[in-house]
Amino acid sequence: MNHRKFRLIAGMLAFVCSFRAGAGEVKAPAETEGRNIAAYLKKIQAEPGGRHLFGHESSIAMGVGGGKDWTMTGPQSGKSVSFRSDVKDMTGSLPAMIGYDAAKLILDITDRPDRREEVDASISVLKRFRESGGLVAFDWHMQPIGLPGYRERAYRMDETGNNPYIALLKEKRPASRIANGFACRDWWWMEYENKRLAPMVERLSLISKDGSGLIMRPFHEFDGDWFWWGMKWLEGGEKLNGKDTLRTLFVETARYMKARLPGLVIAFSSDKLGYLDDSEPGAAARFAAGFASYLPQNQGDLALIDIYGVDLYTEKEDPVPSRESFRTKLRGLSEIAKRDGKIAAITEAGNRGLPAEEDGRQPCIDWFNNYLNSWMADPEINVAFVLIWQNWSNNGNPAEEDPGDGYFIPVNPGSAAGQDFIRYIARPGTLMLPDLKAAW
């Protein structure tokens, strides 16, 4: 997902140090260690009526409420401070789960030591949310290894203006080198283990000592070509190529992390497999078969995966076809998850047209109810959770024809899009943090 550079400010640390529980705030420490999160998600998935956990990326760390960007800040005027969230501002409740880019946990490893303050702030806030009973789902926009320097968005293969290393990455193919280097533990694998896996496990253990309450989703959207681990960049002259490269890369990463964090839940998520024809009969089965073609073939390796996920974004140019197309894909995902005894989830989602809906530049399509909830209520679709992408910047200028960025949760309760979102959250099947805490 294309998103701007995240800025954690020093006030975030002040917030963590001064946290005091008050009315409507997240309270600590309702521990989640020892609870079988995967079993709970399977239970939710099996319940009738489309019940599901609602999640929002970076929900307590950044947003656009109040007409401008915000990041976590400290207490003001001596008042007790609670987590701020665009979701909470709109509905009065925090989401049951938050998504977060795991890359932010090791900025001092990938970038420079003076970013450790930002790392500590992230760890502290996420630990507080997890201890409150919420779940944290990590995507990981992983910085490639083997580069001569750091760039914030070097993981993107489609942003020539942000990533000066695209040509080098095409030449070196680090994902393929890492996977092929595992068997002999060569430089590529050891650099990956020492500079990515080891520090990541150490930081995750500071949030949850055994990984309980955490979901890790590495190498997501592998069927696309916009990340350096995408299928297009996994071919070469080595022994492992294409899907075999992906399987080894994913399996050995999952094995390493689960061996050290046994409570960690692992998600394997594609983009929408857009190359598959979903306009003819049997499309759901074709999606299931297409998804299965990427999975580990060995049952022991497959057992490392807890969640099958798919990322689904409605494009603002032509949203209507996606409603039934995505319904078909989710039926296929549900089918294969049931077959393999896995959790199914919408691991990223959003309506790219939402900012224009908010300021009236395009008609509101009631995306949360007419799209998202219609998928959840479909008797052939069984998913445990949905995670909506993060809110960030509208450039402070709603009159711009196309701001080039946006947000995925409405922030105006009086707008048509805002009312649509509020109705969706109020549905009995949409589970928020208070519902999750009550379940324990």
CB atoms within 10 A of CB 195: 16
pTM of structure: 0.90
Residue 230 confidence (pLDDT) above 50: yes
Amino acid of residue 199 = P
Q: How confident is the model at residue 23 (pLDDT cuts 50, 70, 90)?
A: very low
The pLDDT of 290-310, averaged and rounded, is: 97
Residue 82 confidence (pLDDT) above 80: no
Kindly report which listed range (31-35, 161-165, 194-198, 416-420) carries the lowest average pLDDT score: 31-35
Instruction: Give the list of residues 6+ apart from residue 375 with CB closer than 8 angstroms, or none.
Output: 326, 327, 330, 346, 381
How far the first Cα of the chain sits from its last, in Å, is: 32
Smallest CA-to-CA distance from 381 within 38, 40, 51, 39 is with 51
* Distance between CA atoms of residues 274 and 326, nearest Å: 10
How far, rounded to the nearest angstrom, does the alpha carbon of residue 316 sit from its chain's CA centroid?
21
Residue 20 confidence (pLDDT) above 50: no
Q: Under a CB-based contact definition with an 8 Å cutoff, are residues 343 and 308 in contact? A: yes
